[in-house]
Structure 1
Amino acid sequence: MEINKPLEAESIPSTLHVEKDAIYSKIAWRIMPILLISYIVGYLDRVGISFAKFQMMPDLLGSNVGMAETVYGLGAGVFFIGYIIAGVPSNILLSRYGARRIIAFLMIVWGTISMLTMFITTPTQFYIARFLLGIAEAGFYPGVILYLTYWFPSSRRAKMTALFVCGIPISNIIGGPLCGWIIESMDGLMNLSGWKWLFFISGPRALITALVIFLFLDNTYSKAKWLTKREKDLIDEDMKEAKRQQSTSCNSGKEWTTKEMLKSWNFSKMSLICFCTVMGQGGLAFWVPTIIKDTGVESVFDVGVMTMFPYMLAVVAMLWAARSSDKYRERRWHMIVPFLIAAVALICIGLFQDDKTAVMIALCVAVAASLVPSPLFWSLPNAIFTGGCAATCIALINSFANIGGFISPYIIGYFKSISGDNLLAMCILALMMICGAILTYTVPAKLVNK
């Protein structure tokens, strides 16, 4: 396994190096808290639905409660159908009109839809609500991935992307106990079930976050009034240098067009790698509380507390891997190893599902390892595809990958309903992790290790 040497500080005049570090730190402290909080608020919906399941499915299905696992798995997956449909248009709009307006608008829409979910009474309405929510959320994640390319050169982007994607584990750390507490303590208040209160509360927090985004998030560094001309010039210099390096190494100095990108095997490979990543994440995101509850934990609040531990480990793993990846300018092995670790842990979840301790250990490792490749992955297509196709590239890859987000929750629900356990479903997800590792290994190191 070849790891590049760390970038030598002596290759840049020391005072300039320190000055640039200070500039990017200033940018990070300004925009990253807004983006991170926004992602936490958005992702709390997925945390919420995984806990609402315990009360919502009996309310929606009545005497057909035996279909709960399949109905829930399909509803969780339908979210990604809307996500896939709206992903590219949303990203094109963001690149044209700016992140401030589009992301704020998306948060208003998804907050409204999430709040209205409290009124559903049938599985069909559940599917429709999740589909519409997927459309509303579609532009946020790929939009932010694109947005970060406007502020940070490729050599600094993995750490920032990882910090943003930390919204996933942080939302689970916060949301697990919170959702469990709301469902148990507010159940019956004003004759409403706890799961309905869970969705009602989600609306206002999204609307408040949208207002913060609209007021404080700048579209690009060139329009940021809080940066000096000197700071903007240095960022511009870094961006031009990064663009020159990408164009030279990837396509002999020629920028990619969308047509060339779509015909490229590298684009297909990137889409498949991202698909494998989402298969693991999507399968676990909607089912972690259920997996824990199946070990014999009765209280929904206790399930929420136990949900914190896998995601606490994930935060540490993601930030460490991103920092190491940026330091050594190495991407592939920082993804391959977590892919393989996740595969082993997923199989262990299925093999030892009656052993609470073994399941918790395997779940902690599987969640952390499956989340590590996600922020690092975006360094790959961003290093290869340059020019006007960037927004379309990110959105198309993300949209295709989220087919895995539709499939994986349904796979777990379907096989769980017919077999009564998780083994076969976990083995399928593990196979996807192994495929992701193999595909990542086939990416030429010289294209992406920057």
Structure 2
Amino acid sequence: MTSVAEHSPALADDPAGRALKATYRKIIWRLLPFLFLAYVINSIDRINISFAKLRMSEDLLLSDAAYGLGAAAFFVGYLLFEVPSNLYMQRVGARRTITRIMILWGLVTMATSLVSTPQQLYAARFFLGVAEAGFFPGVILYLTYWFPAARRGRITSIFIMAGIFAGIVSGPLAGWIMTHFHGWYGLRDWQALFVFEGIPAVVLGLFAWFWLDDKPQQVKWLTEQEKTIVAAQLAPEQGKAGARHASFRQLLRDPRVLMAGMVFFCIYSGTNTVAYWMPTLIQGFGLEDIRHIGLISSLPYLVALVAMYLLGRSSDRHLERRWHLASTMLVGAACFVLLGVFQGNLVLSVLFMSLGAGACLSAVPLFWTIPPSYLSSAGAAAGIALISSLGGIAAMVSPVLVGSIKASTGSLYIAFDVIAGLLVLGSLILLLGIPARLLREHRS
């Protein structure tokens, strides 16, 4: 229905087609700018430790293995509270949930500037995970309240592009803050980084209370006709397989949901390694100036920004998710292997790092078009959070794994080879374990 109105010139020009496009244009401009900015801030506050690590390691006597534990501690708190947060969002609504999450994570980010030992860093990262829990899967769920599956690939890609945009600006921003505010009110450069980057989350969280609405039928900025259009677009999906995923216990017993979690585990292993170890990898290329490291760290995100948009459009146009995603994961795996092969060549190292990291990052929005197409409306909240949590275990394991490999071998390249193997494994699980017919029946 949506795709016909969009892709047929004749129908796009009739009154119903124009009303449909106008309605979703209004929804997009109301919701997407806010959600985009919120995810930019979320991503910056999550990965700023990767730049702080280049300086705080000396002050805290932080080894690579200890840094890996600190990065992983975030995901312990995140995983423990992710599913409860998403379920609670169904009870209290998105406005209350996102307001709470953003204010808390901003305060914890600022408080991280006070740590003075590795153990205090572990605690700060754990509580940051608790504070952030439910934000990403909550937004993915929130989008299903507004957009049908045929639009969701592009909308999800736009939202997740915020993480890519954050990657582009976070390096130069961190370099600028740490260079210009070292000694500000007695703060070290890495302490100033946490303070300055925590404030926007609190401010935007307060704004969320006044800007967001929980569901289309509750808003005042849509007309009754527009609300009817949205309801008609979502009705076919809400009626399908309503009992199949009616309980969280059933989801735990569903092998296909578990396989989706395993695929996300493999993808997240790649993206998480990129997020937390790329500045260290770039430093290993022989660069020491934190401003140069920050600038080069932006390159993979620029690659991902272009790839994410093109892949999202192609995936929606062909209504094909699996091969788009599997191919992207295999490209990332190949580039990570080639990193070690050409480790003595600065230009090729930066090239393969950018392409490999860009592929991993581009795989995320492609993946998140799959679970909503499979899960019923009754099981979407728990199912999305469960898949995110299962995949998020990678975020807890991969920093420790990479840090241990780096500490024991002195090289990050072996760790990237391991991540490449996981990406290959994930693509095979996707293609063999999640048949295309399970997705088509929800996109028909």
Give the TM-score, by structure 2 length: 0.94
Deviation at 1:354, TM superposition (A): 3.0
- For the residues of structure 2 that align with 1:204 and 1:104, how far apart are their CA atoms? 14
Matched ranges for 1:243-392 at <5 A: 243-244=238-239, 247=240, 251=241, 254-258=243-247, 259-392=249-382
Aligned to 2:24: 24
Q: Does 1:448 align with 2:439?
A: yes
Aligned to 2:121: 126
Matched ranges for 1:178-197 at <5 A: 178-197=173-192
Matched ranges for 1:27-38 at <5 A: 27-38=27-38
Secondary structure at the aligned position of 2:379 is classed as helix
- Whichever residue aligns with residue 439 of structure 2, its letter is V
- Whichever residue aligns with residue 49 of structure 1, its letter is I
Question: For 1:334-383, what per-residue CA distance to the aligned partner results, in whole angstroms no more than 9, with x for missing partners?
Answer: 10110100000111223323321111101111111101221121222211
Q: 374, 381, 384: which is aligned to 1:394? A: 384
Aligned to 1:147: 142
Secondary structure at the aligned position of 1:388 is classed as coil
Structure 2: runs of 5 or more not aligned: none
Aligned length: 436
Structure 1: runs of 5 or more not aligned: none
- Whichever residue aligns with residue 104 of structure 1, its letter is T
Deviation at 1:264, TM superposition (A): 1.5
Deviation at 1:8, TM superposition (A): 5.3
- Contact 1:6–1:328 (CA<8 Å) still a contact in 2? no
- Contact 2:336–2:420 (CA<8 Å) still a contact in 1? yes
- Contact 2:270–2:423 (CA<8 Å) still a contact in 1? yes
- For the residues of structure 2 that align with 1:14 and 1:145, how far apart are their CA atoms? 31
Q: 405, 419, 428: which is aligned to 1:438? A: 428
Deviation at 1:106, TM superposition (A): 0.8
Matched ranges for 1:390-429 at <5 A: 390-429=380-419
Change (3 A) 1:242 1:388: closer
Secondary structure at the aligned position of 1:330 is classed as coil
Aligned to 2:50: 50
Deviation at 1:261, TM superposition (A): 2.6
- For the residues of structure 1 that align with 2:117 and 2:128, how far apart are their CA atoms? 17
Q: Does 1:241 align with 2:236?
A: yes
Deviation at 1:411, TM superposition (A): 1.6
Aligned to 1:69: 64
- For the residues of structure 1 that align with 2:289 and 2:236, how far apart are their CA atoms? 55
- Contact 1:169–1:314 (CA<8 Å) still a contact in 2? yes
Deviation at 1:50, TM superposition (A): 0.7
- Contact 2:6–2:12 (CA<8 Å) still a contact in 1? no
Q: 95, 104, 109: which is aligned to 1:109? A: 104
Greater shift, 18-27 or 152-161, is seen at 18-27
Deviation at 1:156, TM superposition (A): 0.5
- For the residues of structure 2 that align with 1:126 and 1:11, how far apart are their CA atoms? 60
- Whichever residue aligns with residue 24 of structure 2, its letter is Y
Greater shift, 14-23 or 118-127, is seen at 14-23
Greater shift, 192-201 or 38-47, is seen at 38-47
- For the residues of structure 2 that align with 1:353 and 1:127, how far apart are their CA atoms? 32
Question: For 1:168-209, what per-residue CA distance to the aligned partner results, in whole angstroms no more than 9, with x for missing partners?
Answer: 111111111010111122222333210000011122211111
Deviation at 1:149, TM superposition (A): 0.3
- Contact 2:5–2:17 (CA<8 Å) still a contact in 1? no
- For the residues of structure 1 that align with 2:175 and 2:222, how far apart are their CA atoms? 43
- Contact 1:350–1:423 (CA<8 Å) still a contact in 2? yes
Q: 157, 165, 171: which is aligned to 1:176? A: 171
- For the residues of structure 1 that align with 2:136 and 2:358, how far apart are their CA atoms? 19
Change (3 A) 1:426 1:76: same
Greater shift, 372-381 or 423-432, is seen at 372-381
Secondary structure at the aligned position of 1:386 is classed as coil
Aligned to 1:9: 8
Q: Does 1:85 align with 2:76?
A: no
Secondary structure at the aligned position of 1:257 is classed as coil
Q: 124, 133, 137: which is aligned to 2:132? A: 137
Deviation at 1:422, TM superposition (A): 1.6
Secondary structure at the aligned position of 2:165 is classed as helix
Question: For 1:207-245, what per-residue CA distance to the aligned partner results, in whole angstroms no more than 9, with x for missing partners?
Answer: 11102211111111111211111111011001012334x
Deviation at 1:331, TM superposition (A): 0.7
- For the residues of structure 2 that align with 1:387 and 1:137, how far apart are their CA atoms? 24
Deviation at 1:49, TM superposition (A): 0.6
Matched ranges for 1:203-222 at <5 A: 203-222=198-217
Give the TM-score, by structure 1 length: 0.93
Deviation at 1:10, TM superposition (A): 7.1
Q: RMSD value over aligned CA atoms?
A: 1.9
- Whichever residue aligns with residue 181 of structure 1, its letter is W
Secondary structure at the aligned position of 1:301 is classed as helix
- Contact 1:83–1:135 (CA<8 Å) still a contact in 2? yes
- For the residues of structure 2 that align with 1:182 and 1:336, how far apart are their CA atoms? 38
- Contact 2:265–2:391 (CA<8 Å) still a contact in 1? yes
Deviation at 1:445, TM superposition (A): 1.0
- Whichever residue aligns with residue 25 of structure 1, its letter is R
Deviation at 1:24, TM superposition (A): 1.3
Greater shift, 260-269 or 97-106, is seen at 260-269
Aligned to 2:222: 227
Percent identical pairs in the alignment equals 36
- Contact 1:153–1:239 (CA<8 Å) still a contact in 2? yes
- Whichever residue aligns with residue 19 of structure 1, its letter is A
Change (3 A) 1:354 1:154: same
- Contact 2:94–2:138 (CA<8 Å) still a contact in 1? yes
Change (3 A) 1:5 1:307: farther
- For the residues of structure 2 that align with 1:378 and 1:194, how far apart are their CA atoms? 37
- Contact 2:213–2:219 (CA<8 Å) still a contact in 1? yes
Secondary structure at the aligned position of 1:121 is classed as coil
